[in-house]
Amino acid sequence: MNLFSQQASSFQKRGPLAPPHYLKPLLLFLSTLYRMVIRWRNILFDRKIFKIKALPCPVISIGNLSVGGTGKTPLIITLAEKLKDDRDVVILSRGYGRKKKGKIVQMTDAGLALSSAVLDHLGDEPTLMGLKIPGITLGIGPHRYESGVDALQGLQRPVVLLDDGYQHRQLHRTINFLVIDASSALLEENLLPAGTLREPLTQIKRADAVIITRTASHPEDTKRLTEYLTRNFRDKPIFEANPVPEAIHQLDRWQKKSIQSLQAMSLLAFSAIGNPRSFETSLQRCKLQIMTHHIFRDHHRYVARDLRALVEMARRQRCQGLITTEKDGIKLTSLFQSLNLSLPCYMLAIKMDILDSPHFFSWLEERLTV
């Protein structure tokens, strides 16, 4: 039984799996219908026929136009770490993948324990945010306005970060950030389900600013994307940000390791994120010896047989350990510690480095105080 949705040699360049050729006409027809639905939805919001609710504080939305990872989570963490020095930070998230239903308000602190119960309660991305940013409030639930009202109780100078909020137009935002991955080939994409676009490119007009991520590893794509944005959306400020390897942790001991200490080891990489190529780029920057990268579907819920299969494959390739992403690592820590497997597993933590950050945060502060 193949446990993986996709398996590929280390670092070969690839896009998403293409659908069978005979399905293309049907998918393009469905994309046309989808375009009509999205068009009318946006018209109804623009004309205020669909109600938009406002929270009594600044709201910063961070979202994208496409399905898949653009670096929103590490970007939100960077913003929250900066803003919490002067404000009470609230992060509103849908909590994708969690088992619990309804609204949850969770204060984070240094004692937040990582466990399967916490993951079921919060979801993987909010759990990661909570672990990395003590001293903030998480508001989790499908209705972000209601979660926000509860999360703001008792806070003196709040600011809300709306996770994956570009299409969540029901909540008013003070600043609307659109995040675009430079490696995503966004300009050539079709709408769902024929492509990965949630909305047409014309809806870039709703953004107050665009943040292009992974620009350092894709300079030509960044240049082309910047030219397109400058030509078609002249009033939009454009910022750049890049994921930077921050640390490596050994999961079975939750022990911090230096990147250099792993460079002599042969490793099997695996991930279940929206953009697995971004993980490969980070591993390359660390100069790690990766034999194979196995890719699960985004938000995959790992079970014991997944890890046992990974260890067995690593042994067949004479790997000395496994390595995964930070988002995957928090889902695996309790499971990995309970199995007592014969190979160590590491996770690579990254942070989002915003280019010319003084200018960016000056622009942000100016918008928040208007």
Task: Tell me the C-alpha distance between 297 and 300, whole Å.
Answer: 5
Helices (H), 138-218: 144-151
Query: Residue 9 corresponds to which amino acid?
Result: S
Task: Tell me the C-alpha distance between 203 and 249, whole Å.
Answer: 40
Q: Do 99 and 305 form a contact (C-beta atoms < 8 A)?
A: no
* Closest to 326 in 3D by CA, of 297, 351, 309, 290: 351
Say whether 69 counts as a known binding-site residue. yes
Element spanning 257, H or E? strand 255-257
* Closest to 92 in 3D by CA, of 143, 157, 154: 143
Q: How far is CA 363 from the centre of its chain?
A: 23
Say whether 123 counts as a known binding-site residue. no
Say whether 67 counts as a known binding-site residue. yes
Residue 149 burial by Cβ neighbours in a 10 Å radius (0-12, 13-18, 19+)? middle
What are the φ/ψ torsions at residue 20 (nearest 5 degrees)? -55, 145
Say whether 73 counts as a known binding-site residue. yes
Say whether 266 counts as a known binding-site residue. no
Structure tokens at 362: 């000056």
Sign of the torsion angle spanned by Cα atoms 325, 296, 78, 127: negative
Say whether 257 counts as a known binding-site residue. no
Task: Tell me the C-alpha distance between 127 and 342, whole Å.
Answer: 27
Task: Tell me the C-alpha distance between 172 and 75, whole Å.
Answer: 20
Helices (H), 92-246: 116-122, 124-132, 144-151, 219-232
**DSSP 3-state of 9:** strand
Based on C-alpha coordinates, what's the Rg of the chain? 21
Residues 6+ away with beta carbon under 8 Å from 288: 259, 262, 263, 265, 267, 323
* Closest to 45 in 3D by CA, of 238, 152, 163, 176: 176
Binding-site annotation, residues:
66-73
Binding-site annotation, residues for ATP:
66-73
